[in-house]
Amino acid sequence: MTESTRSLPIAITLGDPAGIGPETIVKAFRDAPDLTRGCFVVGDVATLRRAAAVVAGPGVALPVATLADLQGVLDCPPRCIPVWQISSTILAGGEPAAFGRVSAGAGQLAGDCVVWAAKAALRGEVAALVTAPLNKAALSLAGAPYDDFPGHTELLQSLAAAHLKTSVTQLPVRMMLANDELRVVLVSIHVSLRQALAAVTFEQVLESLLITHRSLQAILGRAPRIGVAGLNPHAGEGGLFGREELDIIGPAVMAARAQGVQASDPLAPDTVFMRARAQPGQPGEFDVVLAMYHDQGLIPVKYLGVDKGVNVTLGLPLVRTSPDHGTAFDIAGTGKADASSLMEAIRVARQLIPGARVDFIEREANGSVRI
C-alpha cells in the first residue's frame, strides 16, 4: 500500500448475518455519516435491508444500494449504505439467516465476505478492512475451507500468506486489543489454555515482542514502552511458582532488548495492566502490555469497556481492525446493539492507512482522547 491508498474505499464485512453485525453497521452509517463516508459493506443486501428496518425508527429512511463497481462508493449520499453483494451457495436466493441461530449458511456467507474483502485489500483495491463479528461455530459448520480457521485472524493470515506466496509460519501475526485506556498484544490467540501454555516459548515470546515493537513504532512514531506480563502468579516469585519467567520469558526479553526493543522484565500479571492503564491527563507506565495468552490479556481490556474496544491485527500486509465484541445472538434483531466499537474500529482503520498516521489512542494533556 502506498500514499494513494488513502483515496481508496474502506471495506466493512457483514459478519455473521444472524448476529448483531448488520445492525451495528446500519447504525454506524445512520449515526456517523462523516465517519462512514467512503466506506462500503461487503455482504448481503437483503440482510442489511432487514437490519435497516430493525434500527431505522419511524420516519427514518436508511437506503441500501447495490454497488456495480467500487467507484460508486463515493457517489452514495450520506446515510445510504453501499453494498458489494456476495453470493453464498447456501443462502443464494433465499431469505436472510434467522436471527440468533448458528447455521452453516450464515457461516459461509460471513466467511465469503471476509475472503472477498481481504483479497481486494491485498490487490490494493481497498484501503483497509473492518470486520464485523463472525460466529466461530457457524464458520466451522460451513466446512472447507472455513473449518480450518478458528477466527478472522487465522483466516486473514492464511489469505495474506497465499497472496505473498509464502507460508503461514513465515508471516507471523498477533492480535492487539485496545481502547482509550489500555493496549494489549497476545502471544497466542484462539487455542485451548493447555495449548496456550505450551505456546509460551522463547521463540514465540521474542517474535511477539518484535512484532509489537515494529507495529507500535509505526503507529506511534516512536519506540513503544512494552510491559511484559508474566505467566505465573507474581511472575513466578523467583521460581517458587514456576520457572517460565526465568527460563523463557526473561531470556526472550533480553534478546529483544538487544534488538532495540524497550521491554520490561516479566511483571506480575495481576498488576501490570493497572500500571499500563492511561488515565485522563496521565499516560500509563507502558504503551502496551504483552500478555501470554488470550484471556489473560482480553479480560482487563474488555472490563474497561467493550463498547470502545478495537481489535487490530499486527503483522499483516493490510490494515485490519474489528470491534471488540461478538455476534451477541441473544439481542440480534432487537435493535439494542451498540455500534460504538464498530465506529471506533472504522476510525482507527482510517488512522492506520499508510500516509494518514497520527498517534494511536494517545491522550492529550487535557485528558481528551485522539485516535
Which three cell numbers, joined as nine digits, stand for 160?
A: 495474506
Query: In the chain, where are the structural domains located?
Result: 1-171+315-371, 182-303
Whether the domain at 1-171+315-371 and the domain at 182-303 fall into the same CATH topology? yes
Taking the C-alpha atoms of residue 170 and residue 245, their distance in angstroms, rounded to an integer, is 26
- Say what the pTM is: 0.84
Helix (H, G, I), strand (E, B) or coil at 52: helix
- Classify residue 98 by burial, with Cβ atoms within 10 Å: 0-12, 13-18, 19+: middle
User: Residue 199: helix, strand or coil by DSSP?
Assistant: coil
Question: Over its length of 371 residues, how does the chain's per-residue pLDDT go in tens digits?
Answer: 444 555 899 999 999 999 999 999 999 999 999 999 999 999 999 999 999 999 986 666 789 999 999 999 988 999 999 999 998 655 555 689 999 999 999 999 999 999 999 999 999 999 999 999 999 999 999 999 999 998 898 999 999 999 999 999 999 999 999 888 999 999 998 889 999 999 999 999 999 999 999 999 988 889 999 999 999 999 989 999 999 999 999 999 999 999 999 999 999 999 999 999 998 888 999 999 999 999 999 999 888 876 678 999 999 999 999 998 899 999 999 999 999 999 999 998 998 887 554 433 333 333 333 33
Q: Give the CATH fold of the 1-171+315-371 domain.
A: Isopropylmalate Dehydrogenase (3.40.718)
Top CATH class, 182-303: alpha beta
Tell me if residue 370 falls in helix, strand or coil.
Answer: strand
Partners of 370 in beta bridges: 362
Please enumerate in sequence order all residues whose Cβ is within 8 A of that of 154, keeping only pairs 6 or more positions apart, or say none.
189, 190
How far is Cα 240 from Cα 57, in angstroms, rounded to an integer?
60
DSSP readout, 310-361? EEEEES-SS-EEEESS---GGGTTTT----HHHHHHHHHHHHHSTT----TT
Half-sphere exposure of 102 (CA within 13 A, CB side): 8
Report the alpha-carbon distance of residue 198 to residue 292 in Å, rounded. 10
